[in-house]
Amino acid sequence: MRNILLLSLWLFGTSCKSPAQQIENTEFSLVLKALLSHSVKEVGVRDVEPSDSVLFLDARAINEYNVSHIKNAVFVGYDHFDAASLNGIDKNKKLIVYCSVGYRSEKISEKLEKLGYTNIYNLYGGIFEWKNVGKKVYDNKGQVTEKVHAYDNVWGRWLQNGEKCFDK
């Protein structure tokens, strides 16, 4: 039993709060609870870091990804998602899928489950919450940036830390 607890702490960090409880902005938390169907496993941004044992998949539009993304994230898209972009990725590898807030990534996670991937998590609160808690994002040159594509003015209001960008 102790080994299971230690493995859980190693894989998911030390937070005892659920992903929903980790969102400090109460209004944003309520929006996420209503928006998401919670149909796939979710992980909070405070519980993960980029590492060799985790592969982040970006389920946003290419112009959003080009502004910034989580370090070493693989672009898979949303509107034009193609399972072929995952060729060669072990179906048991830990995959954390993200988008701006978690809706598009939840839908891509559902598709991945249907394709036989077994270790998939939706990043609760997406890249907005990632940046809100002060985690780093990177541009296409691999440099840390404060810019995050805010999708549009309606959704962009949930990005409270970093420089909002709307251009393509």
Q: Please give the positions annotated as active site.
A: 99
H and E: helices and strands count for the chain: 6, 9
Helix (H) or strand (E) holding 96: strand 94-98
C-alpha to C-alpha distances, 138 to 23, 70, 82, 155, nearest whole angstrom: 22, 6, 24, 21
- Distance separating alpha carbons of residues 129 and 45, to the nearest angstrom: 7
